[in-house]
Structure 1
Amino acid sequence: MKPIEIITKIKNTLQHIIRKIFIHELYVEGKEPQKSYCFERKFFGLYVIFVLYSLLLLFGINFPGTYLNILTFGNPFVFGNTLVFFFLALSLLYSVDKIRVFIFEKYTAIKQVILYIVMITGIYLILLFIYSININFISYLLGLSTVWLVLLSIRFFMYSRKFATKIEAKLITKYSAFRGFLAFIAPYFI
């Protein structure tokens, strides 16, 4: 086999494993689930915005300068809050199937650029006004991030427990069916 074929085969195998472990297909009323765009090229623009500005704001904390004011349109605090509200609004917007399909199917790059610019500009102007009348969202954001971390840690704990139970059950079922049954039930009592 050629090296390119080997790399392609490894890539396809890893994608299949990742989709099988992390993306579970849910069927609602016997219908096929809507297409997920999260690991496709169409979604990379959102990842670039998130990574770029996350690193920029972290770098700006340690090394403040005029570049930070230029890249965050004069107010890094308001722009950071804007990005948080932008991602929250996008998660709510993309949870609607018709909107998600409309944005990601045809002319997706143009639609995403227009949508992201309009949303970020609108949210930035609203938060700039709110910030100018001395309302601070940082305590609310810290509370929301705490709730988010708790929910995320619960999800990771449940997935790791479920995965470990499957491995233990496969190892224990060699001995007896009763031990396998106990391995499946035990995590729910812990």
Structure 2
Amino acid sequence: MSTYNVTKLPIVLASASPRRLQLLEQIGIAPQTVIATDIDEAPVKQELPRVYVQRLANAKAVAAQQIEGTVPFILAADTIAAAGRRILNKTSERQVAKKHLNLLSGRRHRVYTSVILMNTQTGKISSRQVCSMVQFSRLSEKQLEHYLDSEEWKDKAGSYAIQGIAASFIQAVSGSYSNIVGLPLFETAQLLRGHGLIL
């Protein structure tokens, strides 16, 4: 991806995701620093997906502030896939990924991202939450095993990457595409504009 005309902003990106860094670069933005936060990502019992994703984004922002409190702004985000009320979180286990993909096969699901922008000097927090709908085709056993063999699913919400091989399984998307990749760019830019960080 081209780094032409990328502006470095006085923000910490509280994310271990290389995809979020690439997405910011796509709209000409680079954070001053990146921090991979270590938070407990276990859902609370009966927690709704939209509540869960908001809680985790907030927790990442707070954790990043404790590590790096000198940069004026912290940008944090969390993305999940949800089948009904069921949260399909990231996994490194093949069997869990197979369960996720079998659940998504032939049906629609939602992808939620919550984005937080924290002003570390005033404590003010601005946030946006975005929901996109994804329609999966029905996967054959051969398609499923081939995809699992690729290991592209590792550390991906819902156990797939829309920007990769899994694009061949997706019939339709309703809403923000960049949200499904991991960061809704329009809403993120609106947060940054609201704080006078970009035009």
**TM-score, L = length of structure 1:** 0.25
More helix by percentage: 1
**TM-score, L = length of structure 2:** 0.24
Q: Which structure exhibits the higher relative contact order, with contacts defined as CA atoms closer than 8 Å and separated by 6 or more residues?
A: 2
More strand by percentage: 2
Query: Which of the two has higher C-alpha Rg?
Result: 1
